[in-house]
Amino acid sequence: MTMINRVTSSMTTAATRANLQDSAKTLAELQNKAASRQAISRPSDDPAGTRTAMAARAEIARNTQYERNLNNADLWLQSADTALQSGLDIMVRVQELALSGNNGTLSQAARDASATEVEQLRKELLSLANTQVLGRNVFAGTSAADFAYMDGAPPTWNGSPDASVQRRISDTTTIQVDVSGVDAFGADTETSASVFTVFSDLASGLRTGTDLSGSIGALESSRQQMSDALTASGARHATVGRTLEAVRTQLTELEATRMSTEEADLAETAVELQMQQLNYQAALAVSAQALQTSLLDYLR
Amino acid sequence: MGLSTFHTLNTASRGLAAASAQIAITAQNTANAGTVGYTRQSAQLQALPGVQPTGLFPNPTGAGQGVEVAAIGRSASELLNTQVRHALGQSGYQQVNAEAFSGIEDILREPGDASVSTAISAYHSAWQDYANSPGDPGAGTALLEAAKSLTGRVSSDYQKLENQYSAQEAELAAEVNQVNSLAEQLAQINGTIRSTGAAGGSTNELLDFRDQIAEQLSALTGGQLRPAADGTGEFLVGGNALVSGETAHALAPGEDATTGEPIVAWSHRPGSAGLDGGSLAGRVAVLSDAGPIAKAMGQYNATAQAIATNTNAVYATGVAADGSTGHTFFEVTGDPAAKNLTIEVTDPAAIIHAAVGGGGMDGSIADQISTTGTEVLGDWSGYVSGVGSSARGALDGLNLAVGSESSARASQQSMASVDRDEEAVNLVTFQHAYQASARVLTAVDEMLDTLINRVGLVGR
C-alpha cells in the first residue's frame, strides 16, 4: 500500500462505505450458511471437499442400491430355506413310513395307507419345489417358465441348468440367491433318480409288498442331497445377513462423511454469526462517530 | 522621490482580488467535494515585484506591487492516475473471468441432488433394479425414466452453457460499442481542451472529464492514456492509438483468421487489437477454445458419449426376446453429443437384460451395465473439482485486483480529493486575508484624509 499523506473527508466516507459493505457481505454469507446449513454450496467453496462429497454421494448411491439388492436376496434365500426345511421334514416322515413298511409286520391295508400318504407327501414336496418369490421360481434358475416342475412320471424340471440368479452385493461381487432344483431334488438320469421318482417307487413298492431296502437307500441319499442344498443356501443366507449389516454400517459412515464435508457445523456457524453481527454493529457505531466530526461544527 | 500615494491602494486592491479569487476556488472545491472525478484546485499566487527604478535619480527599490493569481492549479498526479488506470484494466479482466466461472458453477449445481453426477448414479442404480426384476415393466419404466432424466439433465445443462456463451458474445459486442463511443468523446474533449487552452482559459474541469473517460476506457481495454503537454490525451490500446488528438479509431468484434476464435479487431486496419487487459480481454479469454465455457461443453459431450458407448458396448451383447443381439440402448444422433443423446428403446418390457444362453430371466447384462458408471463418475467429479479450483483461483485473482485497485484509488484520492476541514481552514484564512487587505485600504484612506483634509489648516 502506498503511503497516504493526506486523508480527506471523501476518502473517509469511501473507506467507511467499503468497510461496512465488506462487513455486511460477510454477515450475509454467514446468514446464508446458517440458513442453508451448506458449507459447500458451489465447488469453489472447497474444491477438494467437493470431490470428497461427490465421491461419498456416488458411494452412498451404490451402497443404497446394494442394500436394496441384499434385501431382495434375503427374501429369495429365506424362501429357499423355508421350502427346503419343510422338504426335509417330509423326508423324515417318508423315511419313517419306508422303514415301518419294510419290517414285514405291517398288514397290506396299512402298507396301502402308507403308500397313499407317500403319494400325498410327494405332491406336497412338488408344490414346495414350485415355491415362488415375487412371481419368480426359486428352484428354476433364470428360466422364464411358469413353474419349476411340471408333474409327470417323472416330473419335468424347467430350470436353467447353467445359469443361476445372482444379486450384486458390492462393486465386485455377486451372490447366488436361488437354489437349483437339480441340486435340491436330484435329477432323473440313468444312474440317479430325483426325489420325486424315489417317492413314486416307494409308494408302488409299498402297494406291491416288495422289498423296500433299495428305496430306503435312495431316500437317504435324496435326504442327504436336500440337506446339502439347505446347508449351501443357509451359508449364503448368512453371508447376505452379514453383508447387509456391513453395508448399513458403511452407509452410516458415508453419510457422516458427506455431512461433515458438505454441511456446515451448526454450533460453529451460530458462534461465527453472533461474532460477525457484533462486528457489524461495532463497524456501524464507529462509522457514525467518524463521519460526525467536522471542523465546521466548531467554527462560529 | 518616494512611492506614489496611490501605489499602496493598488496593492491593497490586488490583495482583495486575490483573496476573493481564492474564496471563489474554495467555493468550487466545496461544491464539488462529492463530485466523482473532480480534482481539487488551488490558486497559485505570485508576488508582483516593485516598479523598476528609472530616470536620472533612481530611488532605492520600493515595495512590490502586490499579488496576482498566476494560475489555477489542479492537484492531479499523472503517476497515480496511471496506476489507477492500470489497476482498473486488471480488475476489469478478473471480474469477467470470475463471473464466467461462477456462471458455470451455477449450471453444475455440484455437489447436489439436481446434478449430472446424481443423475448418472440414479441411472446405474435403475439398471441394478432392472437386473433384480428382469423384464418387469415397472422396473423397466423406472429405468427408462432414469435414463431420460439423465439425458435431459445433460442436454439442458448444455443448453445453458450455450446461452452463457452467446450472452458473453453479446456483452463483448456491447462493450466494443461502448469503447467506440468513449473514444469519440475523448477525441472531442481533446479538441475542446486544445482550443480552450489556446484561448488562455482554464482547462481543469475538462481535464477531469478527460481522465474520467480514460478510466472507463482502461477498465474496458486495459489501455493507457498518454497526456500531452497541451492537456490533450493519446489513448493507447495494445501499443496502438485508439485516440490520437482529435482522431478516434474504432474497434470491432472479429474472428481469428486461423483458429476462428473470437477476437477484438481494429476497424480501420486488419488484425487483432491485442488488448492488454480490461473486461474485453476477459471476454475474449472466456470465449476462446481454451476458455471455461468451451471446456465445460467438451466435458458434457465426453460424458454423454462415454455413457452411450459404455452402455451400448454391453447392451449389444445381450439377447432380445426374439433371440437377436447387437441392439443399442442409446444413440448419439448428432453433434454436440450432449444435446443429441437419445434413448432408442421405447418399450419398457423390451429392454434387454439377458446374456446369450443365460435364460429368460437372466439379468446379467443389466447388472453388467450397472457397473459401467464408476469411471465416468470419476472423470466427472475430477472435472467438477477442477472447475472449483479454477473458480477459487479466479475469485482470489479478482480480490487481489480489486484490492490493488482500491489502494491505487486511495493514493489518487489522497492527492486529488477535496477535504471539507481543509477547505474550512482555507476559507477562514482567505477571509482574513480579504479583511486585512480591506484594512490596508482603510489605512491608506485615513492617510489621504489626514493629508488632504487636515494638513495646512493653520490660519484658516
Q: Is the pLDDT of residue B222 over 50?
A: yes
**Nearest partner of B363 among B25, B20, B127, B9, judged by Cα:** B127
Q: What is the DSSP letter of B451?
A: I
Least confident of A59-63, A159-163, B278-282, B394-398: A159-163
Per-residue pLDDT band for B224 (boundaries 50, 70, 90) equals very high
Pairwise CA distance, residues A272 & A265, whole Å:
11
Interatomic CA distance for residues B213 and A243, integer angstroms = 72
Q: Residue B419 and residue A4: Cβ atoms within 8 Å?
A: no
Mark yes or no for CB contact A8/B422 under 8 Å. Answer: yes
Q: Which residue of A has its CA nearest to B373?
A: A58
Report pLDDT digits (tens) over A167-178. Answer: 999 999 999 999
Instruction: Quickly state the pLDDT bin for A4 (edges 50, 70, 90).
Output: low
Closest CA to B152 of B304, B345, B370, B351: B304
Is pLDDT of A300 > 80? no
- Per-chain mean pLDDT for chain B: 93
B102 contacts in chain A (CB < 8 Å): 42, 44
Mean pLDDT of A256-270: 90
3-state DSSP assignment of residue A169: coil
How far is the C-alpha of B141 from the C-alpha of B376, rounded, in Å? 24
List pLDDT tens digits, range A7-43.
Answer: 888 888 888 888 899 899 999 988 988 888 888 989 9
The residues with which B43 forms a beta bridge, in sequence order, are B72
**B90 contacts B404 by C-beta, under 8 angstroms:** yes
Residue type present at position B179: V
Q: Is the pLDDT of residue A1 over 60?
A: no
Closest CA to A177 of A78, A245, A63: A78
Arithmetic mean of pLDDT, B229-245: 94
| Rounded Cα–Cα distance for residues A278 and A284 (Å) | 10
Would you place residue B8 in the very low, low, confident or very high pLDDT band (cuts 50, 70, 90)?
A: confident
What average pLDDT score do residues A244-270 get?
Answer: 93
| pLDDT > 70? residue B136 | yes
Contact A10 B419 (CB under 8 A): yes
Query: What integer pLDDT is reported at residue A2 of this predicted model?
Result: 46
Query: pLDDT tier at A69 (50, 70, 90 boundaries)?
Result: very high
- Higher pLDDT pick, B53 / B125: B125
Q: Which of A243, A261, A150 is nearest to A196 (CA)?
A: A150
| Per-residue pLDDT, A106 | 86
Location of C-alpha cell 429365506: A78
Q: In the predicted model, is pLDDT for residue B1 greater than 70?
A: no
Cell of A110: 396299512
Q: What is the pLDDT of residue B3?
A: 65
Confidence class for position A293, pLDDT limits 50, 70, 90: confident
Q: Which cell numbers hold the place of A201?
A: 417307487
pLDDT in tens, B312-327: 999 999 999 899 999 9
| pLDDT value of residue A126 | 95
pLDDT tens readout for residues A90-131:
999 999 999 999 887 888 999 999 999 999 999 999 999 999
Q: What is the mean pLDDT of residues B238-255?
A: 94
Average pLDDT, chain A: 91
DSSP state of A135: T
pLDDT, tens digit, for every residue of B364-385?
Answer: 999 999 999 999 999 999 999 9
Residue whose C-alpha cell is 451460530: A270
| Contact state of A162 with B357 under an 8 Å Cβ cutoff | yes
The answer, yes or no, to whether residue A3 has pLDDT greater than 70, is no
Q: Which residue of chain A comes nearest to B394, CA vs CA? A: A44
Q: In this predicted model, what pLDDT tens digit does every residue of B68-116 receive, in sequence order? A: 999 999 999 999 999 999 999 999 999 999 999 999 999 999 998 999 9
| Local structure of residue B49 (DSSP, 8 states) | P
Q: Work out the end-to-end distance of chain B between its first and last CA atoms, rounded to an integer number of angstroms.
A: 29
Please give the pLDDT value at position A299.
Answer: 80
Neighbours of B68 (CB within 10 A): 15
> How many contacts does A have with B, using Cβ atoms within 8 A?
178
Average pLDDT of span A168-192: 92
**In the predicted model, what is the mean pLDDT of residues B301-314?**
97
Residues in chain B: 460
Nearest to A168 among B117, B128, B357 (CB): B128
A-chain residues near B370 (CB < 8 A): 65, 168
Cα B24 from Cα B30, distance rounded (Å): 10
Interface test with B, best of A6, A63, A137, A142 (most B CBs within 10 A): A142
pLDDT tens, residue by residue, A201-226? 999 999 998 889 999 999 999 999 99
Does the pLDDT value for residue B406 go beyond 50? yes
Whether residue B381 and residue A5 make contact (CB cut-off 8 A), yes or no, is: no
